[in-house]
Structure 1
Amino acid sequence: MDHDFKGILYPARLPTFHRLPAPDCVADLVQWFWIPEWDIAPGRSSRQQVLSFPASNLAIQRDVVELAGPTTKATQQDLEGRGWAVGALLHPAAVPVFTANPAGLQDSRLEISAPGLLAAVVLAMENPDGDTRRGQAVDVVARWLAEQLPQVSDEALLTNAMAAKIAGNPDLLHVEDVAEELAVSVRTLQRLAKKYVGLGPSALIRRRRLQEAADRVRRHPEVDLAGIAAEFGYADQSHLANDFQRFLGFTPSSYRQQS
């Protein structure tokens, strides 16, 4: 699967988009960095629709630093003019740097006061060489994050492990399966998810399933929808369609036609 576009519902509409690995100094805090850059003709716009990963993102643009909390459904943003963003998909362990209640940030954004970080990222992104400016911007954000949380607790690392297990193992269809893998109780997973993610562990499983199913629907039009439903653990095609309608706002068949 092409993980560069996983969660991006219409990749053909993307502006220039780069995904960069997290430096070692923030390996426990950041899953990866993402940097879109766009230059849209006057009078036009580019609508980006995303089924985000079930996590928070730190996002820096020219005039603001924001924490985007976990989302409960697909989101969209219309890009206009010329611009860029430097984002970090955060591991759960990084969330306490910004909030003690990530659930309170569901489907919302929190402006972060970090003028030094903002100025340094803007300066880096002014470099005319693309690879250089993106690398410098990532280094700036990584160093800033590492300073905010120089040590990660065992509890936070366990939550990272929970999220990684769910994201990386499609055979884990129930919270009980994840608890068994990590040798902890379901209640422990629920507590950790509430504290560090803002979505319950069952919601993390559901998001992974829906992202993968949507990716398969888009990239493999030759595979019938009933087969995709079965592949990703849905009881039947109707349950797959219900999840599409509830979280994306359209059916699998209409998404396949549009994409």
Structure 2
Amino acid sequence: MRYQVNPNRGILHFDPAQTNVRITRHLPSEQLRHLIQHYWFVEWNLEGQLPYTQEVLQHPGVNIVFEQGSSYVCGIESRKAAYTLQGKGQIVGILYRPGAFYGYTSEPMSELVDRKVDISRYFPFDAETAEKGIFASNRLEERVAFIEGLLSINIPEPDDKVDELNKIVRAIMEDRSLTSVDLLVNRFNASKRTLQRMFKQYLGVSPKWVIQRYRMHEASEAIENGADITTVALELGYFDQAHFSKDFKAIVGTSPHAYRRGD
């Protein structure tokens, strides 16, 4: 089934018409829905063109990335990530629900932040075996079926804490009025210490990080669409544009005005 709700938010200055890059997504089967957010597929054809670098503000979830000759488990990337595409190629990925990858490991997910790890560390198959099966077909449905066959070998049990965490993360994503950890504490009737401990253990990043990441997803998208920068800052809970610009530059890597210009 095609994944319906995704405006490519978090992919900075993404324009498929200009880049010859195509992204599609599919939902997992019911059996794996407590673990997987969606499967994602990237195809590009840049033959005869210069390499293209795509910048991304990652969502708060672990990814498994399959690319021929280079596959790995990728923890949450705390900073802006940049991927250089050249020639012609394909990537198949699995985005886990926030906190769901914790079921594969007994260590806090903070140990996986900003790291790429061999697939065989967590799964009873190696990268080469997975790549051969995944890229044996060009049909997305067949690729999904193969991936789900691999993942079904060792499925972690559902964890109520993951569902609880996802309610909080989804609220942050959907409600721009949640601009501080104190507001989360009031909304979910949990202490700040409890929230911080749960986020560190299951996600690897803090509640403040998740709030800032989703607000910057909104900000970058709004600025790309021509919104007034001062208005964007106010709508996202900032009292002044200077504070907003400081946070935006720290996370996105450039000022809001430079981002609008494409610098």
Task: Show the counterpart of 2:113.
Answer: 106
1:98-137 Cα offsets, whole Å, 9 max, x none, are 5623222222211212546753554343324xxxx21222
1:136-176 Cα offsets, whole Å, 9 max, x none, are 22233334334433411222322222222222222222223
Task: Show the counterpart of 2:141.
Answer: 135
CA contact (8 A) 1:39 1:83 kept: yes
Task: Show the counterpart of 2:254.
Answer: 250
CA contact (8 A) 1:72 1:247 kept: no
- CA distance in structure 1 between the aligned counterparts of 2:83 and 2:31, rounded to whole angstroms: 31
Task: Show the counterpart of 2:173.
Answer: 167
Q: 1:178 to 1:143 in 2, by over 3 A?
A: farther
Aligned mate of 2:12, from 9, 14, 32:
9
Letter in 2 for 1:165: A
CA contact (8 A) 1:121 1:140 kept: no
After TM superposition, the structure 1 = structure 2 runs for residues 1-259 of structure 1, keeping only pairs within 5 Å, are: 3-12=6-15, 13=19, 15-42=21-48, 44-91=50-97, 92-98=99-105, 100-113=107-120, 115=125, 118-128=128-138, 133-219=139-225, 221=226, 223-258=227-262
Q: 1:147 to 1:171 in 2, by over 3 A?
A: farther
Given the two structures, how large is their TM-score scaled by the length of structure 1? 0.87
Q: 1:123 to 1:39 in 2, by over 3 A?
A: farther
Stretches of structure 1 lacking an aligned partner (at least 5 in a row): none
Deviation at 1:213, TM superposition (A): 0.6
CA contact (8 A) 2:9 2:218 kept: yes
Q: Percent identity?
A: 26
Stretches of structure 2 lacking an aligned partner (at least 5 in a row): none
CA contact (8 A) 2:223 2:229 kept: yes
Secondary structure in 1 aligned to 2:34? coil
Deviation at 1:217, TM superposition (A): 0.4
- CA distance in structure 2 between the aligned counterparts of 1:148 and 1:157, rounded to whole angstroms: 20
Deviation at 1:87, TM superposition (A): 1.0
Runs of 4+ deviating beyond 6 Å: none
CA contact (8 A) 1:94 1:149 kept: no
Given the two structures, how large is their TM-score scaled by the length of structure 2? 0.86
CA contact (8 A) 1:4 1:19 kept: no
Q: Which of 179-188 and 22-31 deviates more? A: 179-188
- CA distance in structure 1 between the aligned counterparts of 2:57 and 2:216, rounded to whole angstroms: 9
Q: 1:147 to 1:127 in 2, by over 3 A?
A: closer
Secondary structure in 1 aligned to 2:71? strand
Aligned residues, how many? 252
Q: 1:40 to 1:23 in 2, by over 3 A?
A: same
